[in-house]
Amino acid sequence: MGHNLKAIYRNMLKNKLYTFFNVAGMAVAFACSILLFLSVYQDFSFDKFHVNGDKIYKVYSFSNAANGPELSEVMAYPAGPALKADNIGITKFTRVRYGGGKIRYKAKELELTTVLVDPDFLRMFSFRILQGNRVNPLADLGKVVLSANDAASLFGSEDPVGKTVETEISGTWKSLEVSAVIENPPVNSSIQFGALARTETHGHYPAIKDEWNNQHHPVYVQLAENTTQESTENRLRSFVKTHMPPNIGLMKARGYRADAKGDFSGLKLLPLADVHFNPEIGTGDRVNRSFLYILVLTGVVVLVIACFNFINLSIGLSFTRTREMGVRKCLGAGKANIWTLVWGEGFVTTLVAMVIGVAAAVLLIPSFNQLFVAKLETSLLYDPVIGLLLPGILLFVSLFAGSYPALAMTKLKVVEVLKGKIALKTNGLFRNTLVAFQFIIACVLISTTMVIYRQFRHLRSAPLGYTTTSMISIPVYDQSKGKELIRTMRLQLASQPAIVSVSGSSFNLGIGKDRNTGKWSSNFGYKGKVVRTNWMEADYDFLKTLTIKQVEGRDFSSAYASDSVNAVIVTESMAKQLTDGHAVGMEFFADSAQAKLHIVGVIPDFHLYSMFEDKEPISIMLKHEESMAYILVKVNTTNPAATMELVKKTYAKLEPGKEFKGSFVTENIERWYAKEKRLSRLFSIAAGVAIVLSCMGLFGISLIVVRQRLKEIGVRKVLGASVSRIAAMISKDFLKPVLLAIVISVPLSWLILNKWLQDFSYRITIGWWMFVYMGMAALLIALATVSFQAIKAALANPVKSLKTE
Amino acid sequence: MINITNLQKFYRTEEVETIALNNLSFGIKEGEFVAIMGPSGCGKSTLLNILGLLDDPDDGSYLFNGIEVAKFNERKRSDLRKHNIGFVFQSFNLIDELTVFENVELPLIYTKVGAAERKRRVEEVLDKMQIMHRRNHFPQQLSGGQQQRVAVARAVVNNPKLILADEPTGNLDSSNGNDVMQLLTDLNEQGTTIIMVTHSEHDARYTHRIIRMLDGQAVTENILV
């Protein structure tokens, strides 16, 4: 063992450059893959720490709209208690609602998130109580539970339990007594909070506690021990009929359909384990599972490239060690001894690379978090699973990369080696296959990066049909007073030169900071045919705010009293469904229960939803009820940050104490494509790493091959070959596998990327020139890598090389 | 100790078959010092490789201490070799990355001798070869003569019954060559059987018997003692 380690150490030292290439390549690969694996591991560990996790579900509602089910996680106040009381297999429930953002103790004020819950919350979820009432800390409405960090920030060394704090809940300060301190919610918890108080402390609670139509918070439930998700979901059907019967007539009119069970809408359960992964009804920063699989695959691919480098370099360099192995065999070394020695060197290389890789990964965690909007923590490295995973990867990589060179060495024929007849059979085909494989991966990644980036840019910059720049959208908390808020804001901002107009809409443009999206579409009969349209409700100045020019007619206007009753603006494709002539002035019934709608304007078709969907007919109604979900503000300024601040201040006066979630619509639209953006970043980095690793491998191999061919180069020079001819001869050999890789990767990339692009209705076409760029990039990179060694060898003095040989 | 009968070895390529050993037969007694001579390509090295169990014959019998070893597999050959045979090469074949001490220690590691015993035996043999003062040096820091003395030390550290020397003085000047031959003679006098391939008539005169080979056959034998 000691003897082997000494031999390994000295051999690595002797071949410093080779060792550097191997260690550096492996370390880069380890750093990348460790970051990717940690990130994936963290995502898969979400909410797993709850002891009752497998019995906890999030309740969500579904409505079977014409174009697919609409899902919503928000419930009304009475839903939670009724779910438990109705004896449908639910033993515990908690409503989870944002309460406020501030807390005070004496002169100290702290910003934190207060979440309003029910007493079962701490019995369902495994957030450990560190001090105070461990049995039922939220037994009465006057109590608050603080997380350890916030308790320490607020109280310092003072004991917080029993102290009274001022907590801002729904805009008003309430005195609550700290009943317990609990551990901070870990990063891998979907539910995050700084303080917990009772749901009933919300200012609006008394007024709407029995209203089933006012929905604003998710509800989590815990099922009884002997109950399954399926049986509870079956019982939820009767629960819905009892408490929240759908207006089937209205739903039918709006194009909703019954599912296989005959339900137009209802309630279902989302397992807690899926909450982190469900993009529509999940909680917190959700992530798509398929994205995580792509991350794992990328990590593995990077490791495989590094392993191929190792194998190629080891085999290439082994010709210098065949005599040593021959002597060792001659002196009694068995196959196992030789295998252990050669593999041991691979193991030590891998171990050193892993130590460097882990250190690099730790240093890169902040950049990684920033780049991929992740929340990785160094402490994750101490997790027992990761503690096992790292040695596992070490062993796997050292076996994968080190076994082949070790096996090749054990097969050496002593007699021939000692005669100096053979180096290890450096099979060019094997070496070139590995190089070609590396470059196939690199080429596919280069073209993937190009296509994803261009598609992302294409989506982001695609003309939606309205001006997205300089527009702010603000989610309204108290939607029932939405129109009043819009009116007040319009009035207060009227004198501001930076503000162009203020309007409102029933759902957001893009994905705002509240992350809510909405869609409403319906089919209705008109003159014997079925008309299909998407709906949106808006406020005055809607077209002005979105900078949409009408083709015909006008914008909504308070100057026309009738507008507030039945005005509708339709897009051209909607108008075409109604008439071939002028649509303005036409009237139609979209819903027999509602007033006849009067078309006041026709506008060009535009994208109301993301570019994943086609342009569809749209009808925009002027909302005649007082509720409205979003305020839209069009600004005209060179200083958007200052204007946003102005809008924020104005909003703060309208909904005091509420978190301002206003954002520019351009940001909202980017959020539609957040997944593509992350993918684009990921693949550009992966492509970069793959290229760097492949080039390191190619450089190392060229170094070895040139050393092996020094005599041949010397002889050729003596016989009159020019420097350029020799350099070309050596480079040509290396470019062959790269060329082969390009040829293979073109159809491969096209197949993969074409399939990926099929998910987009608005997509780029893959041009042949992309593959030309890809091929040229790969060739140039490879040529630059090997030509250095080739030219150096061609310039060397032949006398010296022949003498050396 | 060694009895070979009708030993044959062929080298085949796709088109040509070359006979390296052609029905070769002879015997070597324990304690003998034998030189094998002949022109290049006559089969000397092939014979030495077969005698050293580094290669196997295509036909014929090879009795080592009365045991038929011609058909031994790789593992058995390796086992027999490491306990019974020491090698001295023309080009020394010391491992550059190991010190003098470690090079000599290597055969003892492969025969699983304990660390303390290894140290004692290596120091003893280095002392005997008068190379103890160079124990921590690397091969490239030694002269050719010193390197060959280390190689001899490595060959004898396991107390082998047989030493096979392939032109041991081929890379040495005459003075160093004589020193090495004296070392081998001393070892032989202490009871080790030695078979040496050489081109040098001078070196051959140190031995008891010369087997002269031509085209894979033993053509003459000269008894010197």
pLDDT in tens, A218-234: 999 999 998 999 999 99
Q: What percent of chain A has pLDDT over 70?
A: 96
A247-271 pLDDT, tens digit each:
887 777 767 888 888 899 999 999 9
CA distances (Å), A554 to each of A257, A318, A430, A534, A622, in order?
35, 81, 73, 20, 13
Q: What are the backbone angles phi and psi of residue A128, rounded to the nearest 5°?
A: -70, 135
A661 Cβ contact partners less than 8 Å away, ≥ 6 residues apart: A474, A475, A512, A513, A514
Classified as helix, coil or strand, A555 is: coil
A336-366 pLDDT, tens digit each:
888 998 899 889 999 999 999 999 999 999 9
Q: B106 — contact with chain A (CB < 8 Å)?
A: yes
Rounded to the nearest angstrom, the minimum Cα separation between B159 and chain A is 13
Cα A113 from Cα A184, distance rounded (Å): 12
**Band (A545; pLDDT cuts 50, 70, 90):** very high
Q: Which of A324, A415, A418 sits opposite B95 (nearest CB)?
A: A324
Interface contact flag, A415 B54, Cβ < 8 Å: yes
Q: B96 — contact with chain A (CB < 8 Å)?
A: yes
Cα B22 from Cα B47, distance rounded (Å): 11
The contact set of A with B (CB < 8 A) is 3, 6-7, 10-11, 14, 323-324, 326-335, 337, 414-415, 418-419
Query: For residue A100, which of A244, A233, A203 has the smallest C-alpha distance?
Result: A203
pLDDT at A2 over 80: no
Between A701 and A801, residue with greater pLDDT: A701
- The predicted pLDDT at position A39 comes to 86
Rounded to the nearest angstrom, the minimum Cα separation between A737 and chain B is 30
Q: B107 — contact with chain A (CB < 8 Å)?
A: yes
List, as one string, the DSSP characters of chain B: -EEEEEEEEEEE-SS-EEEEEEEEEEEE-TT-EEEEE-STTSSHHHHHHHHTTSS--SEEEEEETTEE-TT--HHHHHHHHHHHEEEE-TT----TTS-HHHHHHHHHHHTT--HHHHHHHHHHHHHHTT-GGGTTS-GGGS-HHHHHHHHHHHHHTT--SEEEEESTTTTS-HHHHHHHHHHHHHHHHTT-EEEEE-S-HHHHTTSSEEEEEETTEEEEEEE--
Q: What percent of chain A has pLDDT over 90?
A: 39
Q: B11 — contact with chain A (CB < 8 Å)?
A: no
- The predicted pLDDT at position A473 comes to 94
Q: B14 — contact with chain A (CB < 8 Å)?
A: no
Q: What is the mean pLDDT of residues B22-47?
A: 91
pLDDT at A318 over 60: yes
> In the 3-class helix/strand/coil scheme, how is A571-610 assigned residue by residue?
EHHHHHHHCCCCCCCCEECCCCCCCCEEEEEEECCCCCCC
Q: What is the mean pLDDT of residues A745-768?
A: 88
Q: What is the mean pLDDT of residues A370-390?
A: 85
**Band (B225; pLDDT cuts 50, 70, 90):** low
In chain A, what residues touch B54 (CB-CB under 8 Å)? 330, 414-415, 418
- The predicted pLDDT at position B219 comes to 81
In chain A, what residues touch B94 (CB-CB under 8 Å)? 327
B114-152 pLDDT, tens digit each:
999 999 999 999 998 888 999 999 999 999 889 988 998
pLDDT at A532 over 50: yes
**Band (B68; pLDDT cuts 50, 70, 90):** very high
In chain B, what residues touch A14 (CB-CB under 8 Å)? 96-97
**Band (A805; pLDDT cuts 50, 70, 90):** very low
Determine which of A440-444, A707-711, B164-168 has the lowest per-residue pLDDT on average.
Answer: A707-711
- The predicted pLDDT at position A164 comes to 96
Query: For residue A491, which of A663, A628, A633, A623 has the smallest C-alpha distance?
Result: A633
- The predicted pLDDT at position B176 comes to 86
pLDDT at A214 over 80: no
* Residue B103 identity (one-letter amino acid): N
For chain A, give every domain's residue range: 1-46+287-425, 52-90+225-269, 97-217, 427-463+673-805, 478-657
**Residue labelled with tokens 């993301």:** A610
Cβ contact B35:B211 at 8 Å: yes
**Band (A159; pLDDT cuts 50, 70, 90):** very high
CA-nearest residue to B82 within chain A is A332
Tokens of A155: 């109280």
Mean pLDDT of chain A: 87
A392-417 pLDDT, tens digit each:
999 988 888 888 888 888 888 887 77
A101-138 pLDDT, tens digit each:
789 999 888 888 899 999 999 999 999 999 999 999 99
Catalogue all structural domains in chain B, each as residue range(s) with its CATH number. 2-223 (3.40.50.300)
Query: For residue A295, which of A517, A44, A593 has the smallest C-alpha distance?
Result: A44
Interface contact flag, B96 A324, Cβ < 8 Å: yes
Interface contact flag, B49 A6, Cβ < 8 Å: no
Interface contact flag, A7 B107, Cβ < 8 Å: no
- Interface size A-B, in CB pairs within 8 Å, comes to 58
pLDDT at A802 over 70: no
Q: How far apart are the first and last CA of chain B?
A: 19
- The predicted pLDDT at position B17 comes to 83
Q: What is the mean pLDDT of residues B89-106?
A: 90
Query: For residue A474, which of A322, A650, A599, A592 has the smallest C-alpha distance?
Result: A650
Determine which of A33-47, A83-97, A208-222, A509-523 has the lowest per-residue pLDDT on average.
Answer: A509-523
* Residue A316 identity (one-letter amino acid): G
A665-685 pLDDT, tens digit each:
999 998 888 777 877 888 888
- The predicted pLDDT at position A181 comes to 96
Rounded to the nearest angstrom, the minimum Cα separation between B224 and chain A is 30
- The predicted pLDDT at position B136 comes to 94
Cα A146 from Cα A169, distance rounded (Å): 14
B78-90 pLDDT, tens digit each:
888 888 999 988 8
pTM for the whole structure: 0.76
In chain A, what residues touch B78 (CB-CB under 8 Å)? 329, 332, 334
Max CA separation in chain B (angstroms)? 54
Interface contact flag, A337 B110, Cβ < 8 Å: yes
Determine which of A83-92, A236-245, A692-701, B37-46 has the lowest per-residue pLDDT on average.
Answer: A692-701
In chain B, what residues touch A345 (CB-CB under 8 Å)? none
Determine which of A22-31, A604-613, B158-167 has the lowest per-residue pLDDT on average.
Answer: A604-613
The two beta strands, B193-197 and B33-37, are parallel
A676 membership: H or E segment, kind and range:
helix A674-708
- The predicted pLDDT at position B211 comes to 93
A274-317 pLDDT, tens digit each:
999 887 787 777 777 887 888 898 899 999 988 888 888 887 77
Interface contact flag, A333 B93, Cβ < 8 Å: no
Determine which of A403-412, A413-422, A741-750, B151-160 has the lowest per-residue pLDDT on average.
Answer: A413-422
pLDDT at A662 over 90: yes
pLDDT at A422 over 70: no
Rounded to the nearest angstrom, the minimum Cα separation between A758 and chain B is 57
Cβ contact B195:B164 at 8 Å: yes
